[in-house]
Amino acid sequence: MIRIKNLTKIYKKNIIALRNITIDLPNNNIIAILGLNGAGKSTLMKILLGLVKPTSGYVNINDSGEVSKFKFSYLPENFLMDKNIKVIDFLQFFGKLYGIEKNKLNISIEQYLHLFEIYDFRNKKMGDLSKGMNIKVGLIQALLKKADYYLLDEPTEGLDPISRLKMREIIFKLKSEGSTVIINSHILAELELFADFYVILHKGELIDYKFSKDLSGQAKYEVEISELPKDNYFNYMKKDSSWICNINGIENLKDFITHIDSMSIKILNIKPITSSLEEYFNSLIQKQI
């Protein structure tokens, strides 16, 4: 458990980024940090990583008192590190820093490059890649490291639907392997698909936190699949060359994904139509304004 106690961060010119935050973040969960711009989400992540020093308060991980004892992996927001470095050199550089053995590192890099479909761009300079591709490289960098905690700052921004889907699968896999994933994102409807625990910040203050299962209301999703399944469980509509199915509720959605996967049908996109998280978040923010 990450115990955050009375955490305050005041930057120069008296800018208050975080104000007296106290919360326990549960281990082995997917935690979403939500908030408007300037809510203090990124500052909170950087304090957890030890990059930013708190003005007061502390962070205690698993009652050890020492943050550095635990392995963190991090995807910074607006990921573009160095325009002049090649993708492969970048990944090998960080792989070496993370202490991964050379052969194992090369195999992992190749696998991830194939997974995110950027293998052909491995010898390109990062400045020549699109924003989405840079984020994919950043994600690979974060995934190369076997960590206890994965902190992903805006990981889906600029990603195409297929890559988002893959990223979601990876996040679930990390959780199943015992890691804790902390995500900072504006895309609430998407977070609702995988987050277990929500932390809502507003202007540096913690205004609420809760488990996703405690969230009332049901979200609706539109799932696009590549071909028509031979079943009578769901209703499908034809859309150009693909098929659409509307699903109510996150649990039904998870069942549907498993069902479609079992028939080896490709899921092209999952689009939330209405989101209970969005309603919950908006109502909280409205109260603050």
Judged by DSSP in three states, 137 sits in helix
What span, in angstroms and rounded, lies between the C-alpha atoms of 208 and 199?
6
Interacting residues with another protein between 12 and 41 (CB under 8 A)? none
Which residue from 96, 102, 239, 266 is in contact with another protein, where contact means CB under 8 A?
96
Hey, CA dihedral for 97, 103, 106, 111, is it positive or negative? negative
Residue 93 is a binding residue for another protein (CB under 8 A) = yes
Rounded Cα gap, residues 2 and 181, in angstroms: 12
Minimum gap (Å) between residue 139 Cβ and another protein: 13
Shortest Å, Cβ 60 to another protein: 18
Question: Mask 119-138, x = binds another protein (CB under 8 A)?
Answer: --------------------
Asked whether the beta carbons of 191 and 140 are under 8 A apart, the reply is no
CA 46 to CA 71: how far, in whole Å?
14
Task: Please state, in angstroms and rounded to a whole number, the distance separating the CA atoms of residues 163 and 136.
Answer: 8
Minimum gap (Å) between residue 49 Cβ and another protein: 5
Task: Select 53 or 238, whichever has its Cβ closest to another protein.
Answer: 53
Distance CA 108, CA 91 (A): 10
Site string for another protein, 135-174 (x = CB under 8 A): ------x---x-----------------------------
Q: Which of 51, 107, 228, 273 is in the footprint of another protein by CB under 8 A?
A: 51
Binder of another protein out of 29, 74, 134, 199 (CB under 8 A): 74
Segment contacting another protein (CB under 8 A): 88-96, 161-169, 172-180, 231-239?
A: 88-96
First to last CA, the chain: 32
- Please say whether the beta carbons of 195 and 171 come within 8 A: no
Can you list the alpha helix ranges (DSSP code H) found in the chain?
A: 41-49, 87-97, 102-115, 131-144, 161-176, 188-194, 250-262, 276-288
Residue 208, beta-bridge partner list: 200
Structure tokens at 219: 């979200």
Q: Is residue 97 a contact point for another protein (CB under 8 A)?
A: yes
Q: CB nearer to another protein: give 53 or 230.
A: 53
Most distant pair of Cα atoms in the chain: their distance: 63
Instruction: Choose between 140 and 165: whose C-beta lies nearer to another protein.
Output: 140
For another protein, which residue of 23, 49, 207, 284 counts as binding (CB under 8 A)? 49
Tell me if 66 contacts another protein by CB under 8 A: no
Q: Which of 10, 16, 23, 80 binds another protein (CB under 8 A)?
A: 80
Residues that bind another protein (CB under 8 A): 11, 46, 49-53, 72-74, 76, 80-82, 84, 93-94, 96-99, 141, 145
